[in-house]
């Protein structure tokens, strides 16, 4: 069977100009993130925070958050502080993940990692600073037309997604699994549902909550985001094998080198692509209820499975 990098999309999704949408949304997010940190005394920490936050990146998480807010009937302005917070949390997790005590990486987003430039001590603090700022901006910068109980729900969900019940828990099991070749599919799913899918889910669901999502909306958004979360990680594992350092902006082939159990190591590359494909189809189905309004989120799901970095 020939493995292709793309698969059929529904008619409306195919007509949608995803690349110009992504470009425009990336610019909006970059601008908002740039405005969110001013360099004051002690300059070193603000510079270290800005270094990683503004180093590029696809901005998938904030874009998902904004798109969900719009689909549910909210605006970009209502969701932008939450979208920025999600990118800050994601960036801090990358800074900490790259530290010698964790994955020990020299490159990220095409640049030297934070600790390579600022030292391990400042890199840890830059991550901490971003994490604290994320919550500060959701609480203080969400516009007044968003009811405060929605803001509280967002803070609760973000906290849960990044703590021991989310990213931190997934990272602990990932670290424990290092060097073990008998990792089960159940453990692998646990790691990635927590390390990767939990934050993507929070971005989507929080974007919806900001806009006034009902409990039925939240259920649909949860199923959509769990599917794209797993698809995202399967593709990440494939790209570690098929991508180059230049394309990925970080070291390639790390999983093989560390003999890590990954989706392609369990299923093979072709089967892994098919599974990612099916997850994207399932994710898109969850949003059919919203008709044309769901097209950006459906196109983003396809992007996640077709990306090359
Ligand atoms: C959150 C308190 C707290 C601590 C961090 C280190 C850690 C705990 C967790 C690791 C989380 C991690 C690095 C998960 C990997 C997620 C992933 C697939 C990252 C790649 O995301 P992309 O492709 O990257 O969206 P860009 O650079 O485009 O943003």
Predicted confidence (pLDDT) per residue in 203-251, tens digit: 999 999 999 999 999 999 999 999 999 999 999 999 999 999 989 999 8
CA-closest residue to ligand 1 atom 26: 57
Residue 96 Cα to ligand 1 midpoint, Å, equals 9
Q: Which atom of ligand 1 is nearest to the CA of 97?
A: 6
Residue 194 predicted with pLDDT over 90: yes
Q: Compute the distance from residue 52 Cα to the ligand 1 centre, in Å.
A: 12
Q: Which of 65, 97, 162, 199 to mutate to test the pocket of ligand 1 (most atoms within 8 A of CB)?
A: 97
| Structure-token match 């920025």, residue found | 84
Average pLDDT of the chain is 94
Give the pLDDT score at 11: 61
170 CA to centre of ligand 1 in angstroms: 11
Q: What is the pLDDT of residues 238-279, one digit of tens each?
A: 999 999 998 999 989 988 888 889 999 999 999 999 999 999
pLDDT confidence of residue 181: 87
Q: Is 9 in the pocket of ligand 1 (CB under 6 A)?
A: no
| CATH architecture for residues 28-306 | Orthogonal Bundle (1.10)
- Cα–Cα nearest to 227, from 276, 285, 279, 174: 279
Among candidates 61, 56, 132, 58, which has minimal Cα distance to 92?
132
Q: What is the largest CA-CA distance in the chain?
A: 59
Burial class of 251 by CB neighbour count within 10 A (0 to 12, 13 to 18, 19+): middle
Distance 171 CA to ligand 1 centre (A): 10
Model confidence over 39-69: pLDDT tens digits? 999 999 999 999 999 999 999 999 999 999 9
The pLDDT assigned to 8 comes to 53
pLDDT at 9: 64
pLDDT at 3 over 60: no
Q: How many angstroms is it from 12 CA to the middle of ligand 1?
A: 31
Percent of the chain with pLDDT over 90: 89
pLDDT recorded at residue 15: 83
Please name which of 206, 199, 166 lies closest in space to residue 78, comparing C-alpha atoms: 206
pLDDT for the residue numbered 7 = 53
User: For ligand 1, is residue 122 a contact (CB within 6 Å)?
Assistant: no
For 50, 186, 206, the CA distances from 60, given in Å and listed in that order, are 18, 26, 14
Q: What is the mean pLDDT of residues 100-109?
A: 95
Flag whether pLDDT at 1 surpasses 60.
Answer: no
174 lines ligand 1 (CB under 6 A): no
Residue 171 CA, closest ligand 1 atom number: 9
Instruction: Grade residue 12 by pLDDT with cuts at 50, 70 and 90.
Output: low
Q: For a pocket test of ligand 1, which of 85, 131, 171 has the largest count of ligand atoms closer than 8 A to its C-beta? A: 171
| pLDDT at 6 (0 to 100) | 52
Ligand 1 pocket check for 199: Cβ under 6 Å: no
β-strands 107-108, 111-112 pairing:
antiparallel
Q: Which atom of ligand 1 is nearest to the CA of 108?
A: 27
Residue 5 has pLDDT above 50, yes or no: no
- Closest ligand 1 atom to the C-alpha of 103? 6
**pLDDT per residue as tens digits for the range 166-175:** 999 999 999 9
**What's the pLDDT at 179?**
86
Q: Measured in angstroms, how far is the CA atom of residue 10 from the centroid of ligand 1? A: 30
Top mutation candidate among 96, 237, 249 for ligand 1, by most atoms within 8 Å of CB:
96
Residue of 10 and 158 predicted with greater confidence: 158
The answer, yes or no, to whether any atom of ligand 1 lies below 6 A from the CB of 265, is no
The closest of 235, 307, 223, 280 to 10, measured between CA atoms, is 280
Q: Does residue 156 register a pLDDT over 70? A: yes
């Amino acid at each position: 069977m020939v493995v292709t990098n793309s698969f059929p999309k529904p008619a409306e999704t195919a007509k949608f100009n995803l690349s110009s949408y992504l470009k425009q949304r990336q610019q909006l997010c970059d601008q908002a993130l740039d405005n969110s940190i001013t360099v004051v005394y002690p300059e070193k920490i603000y510079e270290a925070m800005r270094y990683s936050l503004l180093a590029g990146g696809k901005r998938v998480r904030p874009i998902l958050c904004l798109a969900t807010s719009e689909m549910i009937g909210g605006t970009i302005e209502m969701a932008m502080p939450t979208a920025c917070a999600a990118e800050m949390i994601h960036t801090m997790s990358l800074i900490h993940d790259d530290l010698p005590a964790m994955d020990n990486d020299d490159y990220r987003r095409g640049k030297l990692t934070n600790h390579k430039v600022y030292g391990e001590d400042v890199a840890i603090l830059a991550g901490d600073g971003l994490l604290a700022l994320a919550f500060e901006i959701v609480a203080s910068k969400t516009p007044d037309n968003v009811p405060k109980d929605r803001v509280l729900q967002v803070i609760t969900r973000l906290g849960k997604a990044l703590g021991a019940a989310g990213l931190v828990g997934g990272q602990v099991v990932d670290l424990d699994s290092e060097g073990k070749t008998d990792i089960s599919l159940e453990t692998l799913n646990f790691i990635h549902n927590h390390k990767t899918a939990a934050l993507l889910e929070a971005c989507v669901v929080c974007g919806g909550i900001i806009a006034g999502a009902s409990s039925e909306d939240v259920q649909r958004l949860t199923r959509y985001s769990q599917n794209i979360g797993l698809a995202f990680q399967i593709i990440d594992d494939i790209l570690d094998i098929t991508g180059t350092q230049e394309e990925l902006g970080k070291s390639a082939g790390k999983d093989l080198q560390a003999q890590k159990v990954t989706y392609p190591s369990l299923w093979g590359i072709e089967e892994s692509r098919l599974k990612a494909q099916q997850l994207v189809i399932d994710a898109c189905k969850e949003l059919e209820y919203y008709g044309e309004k769901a097209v950006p989120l459906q196109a983003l799901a396809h992007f996640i499975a077709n990306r090359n970095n």
